[in-house]
Amino acid sequence: MAVSDHVDLNQFMEGVKKRNPGQTEFVQAVQEVAQDIFEFIDDKEEYHEAQILRRIAEPDRVVSFRVCWEDDNHNIRVQRGWRVQNNNAIGPYKGGIRFHPTVTESVLKFLAFEQTFKNSLTGLPMGGGKGGSNFNPRGKSDSEVMRFCQSFMNELFRHIGPDTDVPAGDIGVGAREIGYMFGQYKRITNRWEGVLTGKALEYGGSQMRPEATGYGAVYFLRNMLQHNDEDIEGKAALISGSGNVAVHAAEKFTEMGGKVLTLSDSDGVIHDPDGIGQEKIDWVKELKFEKRGRIKEYAEEFSGAEYHEGAEPWDFEADVALPCATQNEISEDEARKLVDNGVKAVAEGANMPTTIDGVEVFRDAKLLYGPGKAANAGGVAVSGLEMSQNADRISWNTEKLATMLEDIMGDIHEKTVEYGTEGDYVNYVKGANIAGFKKVADAMLAFGVV
Ligand code: NDP
């Protein structure tokens, strides 16, 4: 038995800051989890003694590599690529690849850390990882994107595998990029195996994967509302982003009888008081995924809608909000605006879209607040089901997968309520942190000091 030398939360966070200088996003993600976990493990000596949280907050491995590629004008371009393998206690590392100029090691470490808890919550055997590059696909030709993806995979292939680490898509990485990367992996290794998820249906992809994150976030929102004897029918929503998660959240919200008022991108927001119904959503899907256009074109196409350059959705009145763009898009001020504008529930399709101060505002206002690690877990859950289908060389139909997704989101909601209920309020952040932590921590205890 070790001599007990517990650090308190402040000492723990000081250590995290010292070991990760300048990595503000990573420190923020650890802090958000640590405050709940310290409370939970207060009387649980085994977790303290084994330094479990300290170990989860130290990635198993961070691989950083140079990615060279040639643009259409024959210029040689140099980018940086990473794969962060955070924790594989309960299954192979699993988590998306992000291509965006804002990608840094800190951003990927925060995402891989969050992913560890999220994957645990799904109940499926998946550890946490994340990867990406500061490459910006915006404005690049298909051949440029292909050459970049091939070059990225020329290094990444050494670090991944169906039982080791199974990446997927994220911001800037959709079906096109996954196709190029899978093709290159297959070419280098001469193996067809389920090493990436989010693949197209023709080569081992799963039905429901593109829809899963957005649909799952709306299921989670509905579960939170129903737990409070309310429903989506007749409610108005603010949605940020206009990518994969945002459009599918809009689709499911509309199907359940709600009205979507906004979508956005990094240039601005469109507000449509008539509602962004299914036909308009189909138009946005074509705009974003085929023509690779900008959301401001929506206001030129549909009369009644307005485009606000440089603005965000949080200025408008609504009943609920689904942030589905990126991290830290809701600060303390924006959280206040949401509360003042009548929003009663927030379900995060994006990862960590709310800052710690913003979360405090939601908690103080007793808003129903579903953090990303619970509310957007539907995507990785269906990725886990894609891995099972690939391993068994089978494919399940949409109905079966839709039911499985709905059930998994229901189970996650139940777990977060179990660990997050505080009197008459459900603290979903705490519920998700503790439920996600417990499974990973218990597996780590079983392995001893490794
Ligand atoms: P996409 O690339 O399909 O779409 C991202 C959207 O967010 C675009 O509209 C983009 O606008 C906007 N956006 C990106 N960065 C910024 C920024 N810095 N400021 C404002 N807007 C921005 O990505 P996804 O829809 O797949 O991902 C969105 C979020 O959901 C991310 O946080 C991701 O980690 C999370 N997520 C995604 C999952 C998935 O299955 N895809 C699973 C779980 C979580 P623009 O075109 O101008 O960049």
Instruction: Provide the residue ranges of all domains of the chain, joining segments of one domain with +.
Output: 61-191, 211-370
Question: Is any atom of ligand 1 closer than 6 Å to the C-beta of 258?
Answer: no
Give nearest CA residue, ligand 1 atom 15: 326
State whether residue 383 is helix, strand or coil.
Answer: helix
* Structure tokens given for 262: 């906004």
Residue whose CB lies within 8 A of the most ligand 1 atoms, among 118, 130, 171, for a mutation test: 171
What would the DSSP string read from start to end of 322-340? E--S-TT-B-HHHHHHHHH
Are β-strands 368-370 and 345-347 bridged in parallel, bridged antiparallel, or unpaired?
parallel
Over the Cα atoms of the chain, what is R_g?
21
* Structure tokens given for 209: 């994967």
Which pLDDT does position 181 carry in this prediction?
98
Question: Is any atom of ligand 1 closer than 6 Å to the C-beta of 210?
Answer: no
Which pLDDT does position 1 carry in this prediction?
43
Q: What is the pLDDT of residues 73-126, one digit of tens each?
A: 999 999 999 999 999 999 999 999 999 999 999 999 999 999 999 999 999 999
Which atom of ligand 1 is least distant from the CA of 169? 41
Question: Is any atom of ligand 1 closer than 6 Å to the C-beta of 241?
Answer: yes
Give nearest CA residue, ligand 1 atom 36: 350
Sheet holding 259-265, edge to edge: 306-309, 268-271, 259-265, 236-239, 320-322, 345-347, 368-370
Q: Which fold has domain 61-191?
A: Rossmann fold (3.40.50)
pLDDT under 50 in the chain at which residues? 1-3
- Say whether domain 211-370 belongs to CATH 3.10.150.10: no
Taking the CB of residue 268, how many other CB atoms lie within 10 A of it?
16
Residue from 402, 378, 408 nearest 207 by CA = 402
10 Å CB burial of residue 117 (0-12, 13-18, 19+) is: buried
Spacing, Cα 191 to ligand 1 middle (Å): 31
Q: Which of 109, 130, 430, 438 is catalytic?
A: 130
Unique residue bearing structure tokens 């090691």? 105
Question: Is any atom of ligand 1 closer than 6 Å to the C-beta of 102?
Answer: yes
pTM of the model: 0.96
Distance CA 82, CA 72 (A): 24
Which pLDDT does position 6 carry in this prediction?
77
Question: Is any atom of ligand 1 closer than 6 Å to the C-beta of 376?
Answer: yes
Which pLDDT does position 373 carry in this prediction?
97
Residue from 121, 122, 130, 118 nearest 159 by CA = 130
Distance CA 262, CA 271 (A): 5
Are 61-191 and 211-370 equal in CATH topology? yes
Judge whether 186 counts as a catalytic residue. no
Question: Is any atom of ligand 1 closer than 6 Å to the C-beta of 351?
Answer: yes
Cβ atoms 119, 380 nearer than 8 A = yes
Question: Which residues lie below 8 Å from residue 162, measured CB to CB, with a gap of 6+?
Answer: 92, 193, 194, 195, 387, 390, 391
Which atom of ligand 1 is least distant from the CA of 352? 32
Give nearest CA residue, ligand 1 atom 41: 170
State whether residue 82 is helix, strand or coil.
Answer: strand
Which pLDDT does position 86 carry in this prediction?
98
Question: Is any atom of ligand 1 closer than 6 Å to the C-beta of 244?
Answer: yes
Distance CA 196, CA 383 (A): 9
